[in-house]
Amino acid sequence: MRFHTPPDLKWIILAVFITTFLLKIYLTPTDNVGLSILGISLISVIAALIWSFTSLPEPTVYWDERKGIFAIFRFWSIEVNSARLLASVPIGIDLSHSAKKVLQAMYTRFQNESGGELVFFIIRPLGNQSTKIGFLVRRRGLRLWNGIKHVEDLSKQLGTDIAILERVMRAAYPHLPVTTASLQDIVKATTGGLETHAFV
């Protein structure tokens, strides 16, 4: 199982080192000591990246069934997810107009407490099972020495996020039942298909 990988801090660090190295070559090409230090640092970062892709363990996952929170522990980061589904959606119904209300409410929430991400997802099974439509809220953070404490903090933030999401979904779609997504639904939303992101 392969989860969607977020843009990590390691890519930002690599970009900073490459940019600094190129600027150093352009501005002071005769500074051999400075170029050597930057070159060794850049090679070390690249080697660490190669190691991270070849030797890192698989992510560890935890599921809190009572709260409906799915946590992913990666080597570099921690991620918590929770989702709500629109049940019994009639064929042909246009969900886009009411979805704007959901986006506006969550945009306001993320302005007040940044770091959240809202994902709209559709699960369309190959068999005769019904299509599932929902919204997933995600929060990420760097994995520090006390990962469990960090997950608890992120989960508290996510709990408020998901309460707001559920309330606004019920207001935006008053004729459709809103249910908590199961573990299988969240796993599908975080591993399969394509993800699109809207940056505001």
Query: Quick check: 102 and 49 in contact, CB under 8 A?
Result: no
The reported pLDDT for the residue numbered 166 is 94
Residue 162 — pLDDT band, cuts 50, 70, 90?
very high
92: left (phi over 0), alpha (psi -120 to 50) or beta: left
The reported pLDDT for the residue numbered 5 is 54
The predicted-structure confidence for 4-38, as pLDDT tens digits, reads as follows 555 556 677 777 878 887 887 878 888 888 778 88
Query: CA 85, 89, 94: angle at the middle one, nearest 5?
Result: 105
